[in-house]
Amino acid sequence: MLESKSKKDSKTTKEVKVKKVTKAEVARIKALFLEHYKDAKTELNYRNDFELLIAVMLSAQCTDKRVNLITPALFEKYPTPKALSGADLDSIKECIKTCSFFNNKAENLKAMAKEVCERFGGEIPLEREALKSLPGVGQKTANVVLIESKEANFIAVDTHVFRVSHRLGLSSASTPLATEEDLTKAYKDNLATLHQAMVLFGRYICKAVSPQCTECFLSHLCKSKTTYRC
């Protein structure tokens, strides 16, 4: 999801110095996330790994709410990798035209399905490097799929996770991948649940603009309310 830019709150991580958390604070943050979001799950709707991968690919720079409006008709029309791989590209575009960057996403969906059929026997590979070898699938997308499908001990850094981790001083890295490394080292385990927790926390409480600080269970540990973008 893209963040709004305001005059007051437009600095990047390169311009803002945020005090880093102590080990004790990391442990407290982790414990509070697990307490408040122990059953956290993605808000994307899906019924199998194929649908999950499509939904995650569509969610890049698009809201989960919008993706959930798009996918029912798409899944009904193309229920398998074989069906999607043989689909007319313009028909795919028509199905997802209300999604951001729908032209590129349509091409990637068709190419992904073709690769799944030709290289993986029509089954979505549930190993990170194999997933990353598919068109349109980077590390963030692969991690999200594995987190949701297998509860793999990974964390994926989207806009929400990037912002939350920097506001809390868990990372000062300038890229999502480097931030992922920082969070993995800090948390070590329970990464799947912590990923989902940070996404929901960033979406509904630690918002980019007008964060809900009075409702925040981590306000006493917050280092900055600056908007961070990735």
The residues carrying an active-site annotation are: 140, 158
Residue 213 annotated in ligand binding: yes
Which residue in 152, 159, 165, 180 sits closest to 224, CA to CA?
A: 165
Q: What angle, 0 to 180 degrees and rounded to 10, lies between the N-to-C axes of helices 49-58 and 139-150?
A: 140
Please count the other Cβ atoms lying within 10 Å of the Cβ belonging to residue 65.
10
117 is in an annotated binding site: no
Place of tokens 């600095």: 11
Q: Which helix H or strand E contains 220, and what residues bound it? A: none
> Was 216 annotated as part of a binding site?
yes
Does residue 99 have a known ligand-binding role?
no
**54, 27, 81, 33: which is closest to 148 by C-alpha?**
54
Residue 128's alpha-carbon distances to 66, 154, 157, in angstroms, are 26, 10, 15
* Residue 51, token pair as written in the block: 């649908």
Q: Which residues contribute to the annotated binding site?
A: 206, 213, 216, 222
Q: Which residues are annotated as a binding site for [4Fe-4S] cluster?
A: 206, 213, 216, 222
